[in-house]
Amino acid sequence: MSKQGAKGLREVLRLPPGEGVDLASYDTRATPCAPNGKDAALADSARMGKRLGRLQERLWAAGTAGDRRRVLLVLQGMDTSGKGGTVKHVVGQFNPSGCRIKAFEAPTEEEREHDFLYRVRRALPEPGEIGIFDRSHYEDVLIARVRHLAVPAEIGSRYGRINDFERSLAEDGVTLVKCFLHISYDEQGRRLLRRLDRPGKRWKFNPGDIDERALWPAYQEAYEAALEHCAAPHAPWYLIPADRKWYRNWAVSRLLLEHLKALDPRYPKGDFDVAECRERLLKRT
Amino acid sequence: MSKQGAKGLREVLRLPPGEGVDLASYDTRATPCAPNGKDAALADSARMGKRLGRLQERLWAAGTAGDRRRVLLVLQGMDTSGKGGTVKHVVGQFNPSGCRIKAFEAPTEEEREHDFLYRVRRALPEPGEIGIFDRSHYEDVLIARVRHLAVPAEIGSRYGRINDFERSLAEDGVTLVKCFLHISYDEQGRRLLRRLDRPGKRWKFNPGDIDERALWPAYQEAYEAALEHCAAPHAPWYLIPADRKWYRNWAVSRLLLEHLKALDPRYPKGDFDVAECRERLLKRT
């Protein structure tokens, strides 16, 4: 762990709320605060996995006793940026029974009849759970903006509605960990080619991905607007350099660990008479 | 792996359909087909985890191309038999994004207004997924029978309705893996005591567990009836000796592995022109 680590990765990767964001100025191959090299990071990630599991159990246990707190990890990023890989490698370290994972696809006809936050509200984690959004309500100001799926005034109003929504979540005990997985245009090209060339990866490829890629500059601009407009102290954005998968996994694990440690969930004491239960139990054994 | 292993754990642990079941005749500490001892079993479980993950990815990939097949692991057993532990250790080996886990608690008022299978139908895995039921529709012939939550004629009719339901699932591509985690009365006593005595486990304890424990014989009888009436070639029950947690985890992993290998899911080839996509992609890189 470098000296920067002492500061907490949260402070290092957090985009300053209220400031303009220039994505091109962030190096997608950077590895801030990482242990020294890939092997050390993988070893550290494995160690963190155990701690994450223990903290998750405490969060869950507290939830059974009325603690309303929970975590919501929001993963956003261009195609191939590694949202699915993060779920597999980072979320895979938790007990799956305490995780509520939702991958948002294009909205269904039924969903389109409602406000854009309708389907998001239905996928929120319950108290004690770790929620994971693979894509999210941000698509409604990303692809919706780039592909003109709504008029500009509607898009414009959504930033504020997202902020109101996220504030209400925070007030209800949700710790938001919003991660933008930042890859370069070149890295996306390499990853798409790999999907085409490897038979075991080809099922992930969609010819439409090439059309989306042609809109790269518009997407970067839409991301910059979203990251600028929708960052608050209770719901900041973290920019994760994501060209290196080992760093991406390490960094998201580390962010979750820092947040869970700060929550410091406790096992409930139990509201029953332990001695009396012990006696009743031993009588029957 | 002992010689029995060659036969397949499925054959060894499957309760013969249509025959009476005497639970007391099954040793809860047995370890049929297991590798030689706990350490070897843990090592084998870790190896299986990787294979399970690869097969799950193929199942999921096939699902994206129209293959309707999926797996449904049903976990039943007395309190403390290790349903939650199995989810943590066995299901935790899969990519969580392809798992659909449902823990069934006492039905809500809304659920009670419907047929007992209503809430079960809503929790089924989608094609390509691994579904996991921690408790299931079997509670409606277990606690419902022991606690007289329905009249005998109603309970009696449920066995047949469960069989019809499971046949329709099998016909729709669902591979059912129903596991009864078999522990002894003494082992349950030890585990309940441990929950009381360890502060980190006390949150799992419920004084009502002691009352349920007093009904042990009635529950064993209800299980015997369910295992007898609801076993079919397409939906057999596996009896997992579960006093040893390492064996329980190894055996359920092994059963899932055998079923997934038999399904032999394949990556879809993709219905697009790879060469043309490659060319379009390289033009833009």
- CA of B243 to nearest chain A CA: how many angstroms apart? 16
- Minimal-distance CA residue of chain A relative to B277: A207
Q: From the list A96, A199, A204, which residue is nearest B101 (CB)?
A: A96
pLDDT at position A45 is: 96
Length of chain A: 285
pLDDT of residue B6: 55
What is the pLDDT at residue A18? Answer: 79
Do strands B99-103 and A70-77 pair parallel, antiparallel, or not at all (unpaired)? Answer: unpaired
Contact B63, B267 (CB under 8 A): no
Distance CA B104, CA A196 (A): 42
pLDDT given at position B137: 98
Is the CB of A207 less than 8 angstroms away from the CB of B272?
Answer: yes
pLDDT tens over chain A, length 285 residues: 444 445 799 999 999 987 899 999 999 999 999 999 999 999 999 999 999 999 999 999 999 999 999 999 999 999 999 999 999 999 999 999 999 999 999 999 999 999 999 999 999 999 999 999 999 999 999 999 999 999 999 999 999 999 999 999 999 999 999 999 999 999 999 999 999 999 899 999 999 999 999 999 999 999 999 999 999 999 999 999 999 999 999 999 999 999 999 999 999 988 899 999 999 999 866
R_g of chain A computed on alpha carbons:
21
As a whole number, mean pLDDT of residues B183-207 equals: 95
Chains A, B: CB pairs < 8 Å: 117
Residues in chain A with CB shorter than 8 Å from the CB of B274 are: 196, 202
Question: Closest approach of chain B CAs to the CA of A149, in angstroms?
Answer: 25
Average pLDDT over residues B126-144: 98
CA distances from A86 to A83, A144, A171, A247, B64 (A): 5, 24, 27, 11, 20
What integer is the mean pLDDT of B134-146?
98
**SS3 of B148, please?**
coil
* Under 8 Å between Cβ of A219 and A13: no
- Closest Cα in chain A, distance from residue B149 (Å): 25
Segment B70-103, tens digit of pLDDT: 999 999 999 999 999 999 999 999 999 999 999 9
The predicted structure's pLDDT at residue B269: 87
Q: Hey, what amino acid is at B209? A: D
Taking alpha carbons only, the member of A45, A53, A24, A1 closest to residue A182 is A24
Residue position matching structure tokens 């449920």: B158
Please name the residue of chain B whose CA is at the shortest distance from the CA of residue A185: B285
pLDDT at B219 over 80: yes
Six-digit token string for A8: 């907490």
* Neighbouring C-beta atoms of residue B276, cutoff 10 Å: 10
In angstroms, the CA A138 to CA B222 distance is 50
Please give the pLDDT value at position A2: 45
- Maximum Cα interatomic distance, chain B, rounded to a whole number of Å: 73
Mean pLDDT for the stretch of residues B217-227: 98
The pair of structure tokens assigned to B214 is 């007093």
- CA distance linking residue A167 with residue A176, whole number of Å: 10
Backbone φ and ψ for A49, nearest 5 degrees, come out as -55, -45
* Mutation site, A57, A64, A78, A97, interface B, largest B CB count within 10 A: A97
- pTM score, two decimals? 0.95
> Nearest CA to CA, how far is A49 from chain B (Å)?
12
Q: For residue A62, give both structure tokens.
A: 């507290």
Local structure of residue A105 (DSSP, 8 states): -
